[in-house]
Amino acid sequence: MQTMDNVTSFPDHSTLLCDDWDLVILVITSLIFLFGFIGNLITASKVIIERKLHKPVPVCISCLAIADLLTLCFQYARVPLSHCHIVTMISVSSRETFFTLTAIMVHSSAMHLILLALVRYGLIVHPFSMKFWLTSGKVVISSLTFWLLSLVLGLLYGLYNRQYYMGNIDEHTDAIVQLAIALYILIVPICFFVCLYVAEMNVMKRSLLPEKSFYIKKISKMISLIMALYIAFLAPYVMADLLRLLYMKEILSMGKENFETMKNVMFNLARVLILLNYSINPFVYFLFIR
């Protein structure tokens, strides 16, 4: 996935975003980064500072805000790093480390979406037992567990990235791997959400559980909106990676110049939207949670 893409300065490799630097993209992404950084920081700080918010759902939202904040920083740093003239000044080992850390952050953000969906499922399907079993401390422990899993997955990507920089992986194979990672990052949280929602509906139909409270309905609407935005903002990266692969496989028939133009437009659009994905959630929280 190009959230963790391989941009190399080796003369024999084709780079993805080495055309003329677009100052407009830099300005737009800088504004998004500023609002997203402030929003996620305020969200996490508010939950940490205010004792009345030390409850499972707010704590889970705070954990997601921290993951989004870190991911946003690394994704924003990739905007100038993707320019060839800047990349050539950075060593291969530094780039490997940077992309590995970015991979860890991206995985953590996706994992915390799953955690939020699990908390929602527990509150709806097991409202009475969750009231006593689910605590803020257990949410934090779950968050740390997901961070550990993200670390493992990020390091695995780092090992793959090293093989790419050593020239052991060709561009065609890399295009397939990047598309697979893009689909994984997009689909896995959505699959968890959909499966839990279907299971929730089945349980509700077979049980005598009370109707959802106003608070639970708010939480459900909030998470549904977050998931919808997640799909909308990450889909362009999947499309960009797919177009890149189709062109390399000569399935997409078009001139090189036209393809380069289309590719740059797609990746620039995706770069803006991916930053929006990690910036918009705090505004969704404040919209639904007062």
Rounded to two decimals, what is the model's pTM? 0.81
- Provide, rounded to the nearest whole percent, the portion of the chain with pLDDT above 70: 82
Q: Is residue 9 a part of any domain in this protein? A: no
Is 8 within the bounds of a domain?
no
Q: pLDDT-based confidence at 106, cuts 50/70/90?
A: very high
Instruction: Look at residue 82 and tell me whether its pLDDT is greater than 70.
Output: no
Residue 5 lies in a domain: no
Indicate whether 75 belongs to any domain: yes
What is the domain extent for residue 44?
21-288
Asked if residue 12 belongs to a domain, the reply is no
90: CATH: 1.20.1070.10
Q: Which pLDDT band holds residue 10 (cuts at 50, 70, 90)? A: very low
Position 149 in a domain:
yes
The predicted pLDDT at position 245 comes to: 85
SS (H, E, C) the chain: CHHHCCCCCCCCCCCCCCCCCCHHHHHHHHHHHHHHHHHHHHHHHHHHHCHHHCCHHHHHHHHHHHHHHHHHHHHHHHHHHCCHHHHCCCCHHHHHHHHHHHHHHHHHHHHHHHHHHHHHHHHHHCHHHHHHHCCHHHHHHHHHHHHHHHHHHHHHHHHHHHHHHCCCCCHHHHHHHHHHHHHHHHHHHHHHHHHHHHHHHHHHHHCCCCCCCHHHHHHHHHHHHHHHHHHHHHHHHHHHHHHHHHHHCCCCCCCHHHHHHHHHHHHHHHHHHHHHHCCCHHHHHHHHCC
Q: Which of 14-23, 72-81, 143-152, 164-173 has the lowest mean pLDDT?
A: 14-23
What's the average model confidence in pLDDT over 115-132? 81
Within a domain: 267: yes
Domain count along the chain: 1
Asked if residue 27 belongs to a domain, the reply is: yes
**Residue 121: pLDDT over 50:** yes
Confidence at residue 85, expressed as pLDDT on a 0 to 100 scale: 46
Percent of the chain with pLDDT over 90: 24
